[in-house]
Amino acid sequence: MVKTAYIAMRRELEGLLKPYGITHTQWSALGIIDHYPGITPSEMEPILMIERPSVTSLINGLVKRGLVYRRDHPEDARSKQIYLTEPGKELAARTRHLTQRIDHAVRQEFTTEEYESLRSLLIRVVQRMDR
């Protein structure tokens, strides 16, 4: 059931992102880079839960679109730091609220007590899987 709910919510988010011309994964990457300017691809890998070659491909696509840029890491010559460009910052800011819309729609389906119970149960699922 958790996977089914995730897929439904992700599908909803993909629909909301379509007018902006980005995918869920691209949107997630922009949000991460916005929150952690200078993050490296290897640091992004566990957050995005995708393999390193996919992170590299994702970043390459965002670079080509002018949404992010790479800079040499000051302490590790083999690594690059990733930053948002001005258009990337603008897109991240314009789309940041979209998960709130989905969260609001979900909250309307439950009483406050039901929602808090659901939230608590999902937190337990995440904690269990992180062990």
Query: pLDDT band at 97, cuts 50/70/90?
Result: very high
Query: Residue 109 falls within a domain, yes or no?
Result: no
Amino acid identity of 61? G
Query: Residue 108 falls within a domain, yes or no?
Result: no
Q: Using CB atoms within 10 A of its CB, is residue 83 exposed (0-12), middle (13-18) or buried (19+)?
A: middle
Query: Residue 101 falls within a domain, yes or no?
Result: no
CATH of the domain at 34: 1.10.10.10
Q: How many domains does the chain have?
A: 1
Using DSSP bridges, classify how beta strands 80-84 and 68-72 pair: parallel, antiparallel or unpaired: antiparallel
Total-model pTM? 0.85
Would you call 40 helix, strand, or coil by DSSP?
coil
Query: Residue 129 falls within a domain, yes or no?
Result: no
Give residue 8's pLDDT.
93
Q: Does position 114 have pLDDT exceeding 90, yes or no?
A: yes
Query: Residue 83 falls within a domain, yes or no?
Result: yes
Chain segment 2-61, per-residue pLDDT in tens: 899 989 999 999 999 999 999 999 999 999 999 999 999 999 999 999 999 999 999 999
Chain segment 98-112, per-residue pLDDT in tens: 989 998 998 999 999
Domain around 86: 2-96
Dist. CA 4–CA 80, nearest whole Å:
36
What does the block give as tokens for 17? 């992102």
Query: Residue 37 falls within a domain, yes or no?
Result: yes
